[in-house]
Amino acid sequence: MPKTSSLQVTGRDRAGKGAARATRRDGLVPAVIYGGNQDATLIALEPKTLVALMHDPAFKTNIFEVEVGGKKQRTMAMDVQLHPVSDQPIHADFRRIEKDTLVRVPIPVRFHNEGASPGIKVGGVLNIVRHDVEVRARPDDLPDHIDVDLTGMKIGDSVHISAVKLPDGVKPTIARDFTICTIAAPTVMTAEEETPTAGAAATPAAGAAAAPAAGAAAAPAAGAKAAAPAAGAKGAAAPAAPAKKK
């Protein structure tokens, strides 16, 4: 059963972006209540209160009683808009609910008895495909969470939604028998992949050592070869021309 609690809010008399910005300047979060074949109700609430509620995994399944203008309304949180930089709430939407109202909400999944899973005991990994399951139901029939028992699961086994017991009147919004989790085989790295071989490690070192030696040997040879033509050219110009015979 969902938890029902009172939520302190204040009414707003103006709609629009300008009015919403004015509400934020006053340190409050603008919000709206809609649905139930009634006009929308404009409200504002403390940001600290909204942030604390958002940290509850059952935030979207809980029922909030809101009193505005002396009138109490049962509501559920539908959406919260966050600032793109600070991640602080800047607007919230609540839906007015009645006894027979059908809602679509995500229900968090909890996994139990990992120690009783033979696959996990031998090193298998719990691969969670869905952390929550969206269901359709009346607000009073919604569960706080969905339990998945891992007892007896081996590597390669999986849990589908058909294996999960849901309360009466609660149905998943996806028609197919989808997967919630699997037990995957462990990833093993061999010793050859972890440590390079001695030959592979020695090859770069030998090449690095050989390169300077070859360069050092080539430099004097090139210098000597370059100096020889220069000396020869200077020596060719040195001898004087032979004297003329009289």
- What's the pLDDT score for residue 226? 44
- Residue 12 shares a structural domain with residue 95: yes
pLDDT in tens, the chain (246 residues): 678 888 889 889 888 889 899 999 999 999 999 987 888 899 999 999 999 999 888 888 889 999 888 888 899 999 999 999 999 999 999 999 987 889 999 999 999 999 999 999 999 999 999 999 999 999 989 988 999 999 999 999 999 999 999 999 999 999 999 999 999 998 764 445 555 554 444 444 444 444 444 444 444 444 444 444 444 444 444 455 555 544
Judge whether 125 lies within some domain: yes
- Residue 95 shares a structural domain with residue 116: no
- Residue 89 shares a structural domain with residue 60: yes
- Residue 162 shares a structural domain with residue 180: yes
Owning domain of residue 57: 4-101
Judge whether 228 lies within some domain: no
- Residue 86 shares a structural domain with residue 130: no
- Residue 92 shares a structural domain with residue 140: no
In contact, 3 and 58? CB cutoff 8 Å: yes
- Residue 42 shares a structural domain with residue 74: yes
- Residue 115 shares a structural domain with residue 185: yes
- What's the pLDDT score for residue 134? 94
Residue 9 belongs to domain with CATH number: 2.40.240.10
- Residue 13 shares a structural domain with residue 93: yes
Residues 6+ apart with CB under 8 A from 118: 152, 153, 154
- What's the pLDDT score for residue 241? 52
- Residue 79 shares a structural domain with residue 157: no
In contact, 97 and 38? CB cutoff 8 Å: no
Last residue of a domain, one of 81, 101, 121: 101
Judge whether 45 lies within some domain: yes
Residue 187 belongs to domain with CATH number: 2.170.120.20
SS (H, E, C) the chain: CCCEEEECCEECCCCCHHHHHHHHHCCCEEEEEEECCEEEEEEEECHHHHHHHHCCCCCCCCEEEEEECCEEEEEEEEEEEECCCCCCEEEEEEEECCCCCCEEEEEEEEEECHHHCHHHHCCCEEEECCCEEEEEECHHHCCCCEEEECCCCCCCCEEEHHHCCCCCCCEECCCCCCEEEEEECCCCCCHHHHCCCHHHHHHHHHHHHHHHHHHHHHHHHHHHHHHHHHHHHHHHHCCCCCCCCC
- What residue type is assigned to position 59 of the chain? F
As a whole number of angstroms, the distance between CA 98 and CA 207 comes to: 80
- Total domains in the chain come to 2
Judge whether 120 lies within some domain: yes
- What's the pLDDT score for residue 29? 94
Judge whether 201 lies within some domain: no
Judge whether 58 lies within some domain: yes
- Residue 25 shares a structural domain with residue 70: yes
